Amino acid sequence: MSDYRPLAIVTGASTGIGFALAKCCAEEGIDLLIAANERAIEYAAAELRQADVEVEAVKCDLAEEQGVEKLYAAARGRPVDMLFANAGHGLGDAFLDQSFDQARHVIDTNITGTIYLIQKVGRDMRERRRGRILITGSIAGFIPGTYSAVYNGTKAFIDSFSHALRAELQDTGVTVTCLMPGATDTDFFKRAGMMDTRVVQQDKDGPAGVARTGFDAMMRGQDEVVSGWTNKIQSVVARAAPAGLLAELHRKQAEPGSAKNK
């Protein structure tokens, strides 16, 4: 029997969908290199080590090039079999009322840092002609995000980028899968400052189920997966509906103070 142990990098693994993705890996006997920006990543690592796998935690800001490089260096040249490019955050409120630094941090985390890490790890995978990449996009990428304009824009980028990269890597032995969750019960909305919006009151999927859907789709080498039936229907409608209508519908969900008006 081979004693080869695969290694996965999971970004944004301290909480939510990323932690659940890391748990899927641990349950499958996959060693882990996990990253997030706060100390909670250490607690996540301690919990994941309860499975019989090696877990290393890296605390780094993935919005910064140095943060991505610190994470990449932590693999110390060990081949990465799977990359879960999942770290991301949102930002509520009207664009003109947002802090530009915060808006830029959303872009730098969700887009710039994400694709920088994918490029570094992806080059190694292509060289070895082997690897799986799961990118956490969102069904938000289909919907102009009134009161969440920058965030939804980043996810439109990521959804599109994921399909293009997959096509470029055809026949290289490296697969790219885009996980597109809908509203999921994580720290996301609190962190985005959206606790007074109607979207917070709607039923949400659990992060464990969303992560399992993404993990299984990646293992099958699927191009994309929308988690949950309601979200699947919503994504079909969103792909066909006029952008102006979608932007108005999003306003009702994400307008600051809309929670009170339900």
Annotated active-site positions, please? 151
Q: What is the DSSP letter of 109?
A: I
Write the CA distances from 173 to 128, 207, 217, integer angstroms.
8, 29, 16
CB of 191 or CB of 232, closer to ligand NAP:
191
Query: How far apart, in Å, are the Cα atoms of 185 and each of 17, 133, 201, 230?
Result: 9, 24, 11, 15
Minimum distance of ligand NAP from residue 136's CB (angstroms): 4
Measured from the CB atom, the residue of 172 and 237 that comes closer to ligand NAP is 237
Nearest CB to ligand NAP, comparing residues 171 and 203: 203
Q: What angle do CA 120, 122, 126 make, to 5 degrees?
A: 125
For residues 51 and 202, give the distance between their C-alpha atoms in angstroms, rounded to a whole number.
34
- Please say whether the dihedral angle defined by the alpha carbons of residues 251, 16, 112 and 66, taken in this order, is positive or negative: positive
What residue ranges bind ligand NAP (CB under 6 A)? Answer: 12-18, 36-38, 40, 61-63, 86-89, 109, 136, 138, 181, 183-184, 186-188, 191, 207
In degrees, rounded to 5, the angle at the alpha carbon of residue 117 between the alpha carbons of residues 193 and 143 is: 45
Rg, C-alpha atoms of the chain = 18
DSSP 80: P
CB of 82 to ligand NAP, least distance (A): 16
Structure tokens at 211: 């992560």
- CB 259, CB 189: distance < 8 Å: no
Signed CA dihedral, 4, 169, 9, 134: sign only: negative
Which residue is closest to ligand NAP by CB? 16
Nearer CB in complex with ligand NAP: 129/239: 239
Phi (first) and psi of residue 109, to 5 degrees? -80, -55
Closest CB to ligand NAP among 5 and 239? Answer: 239
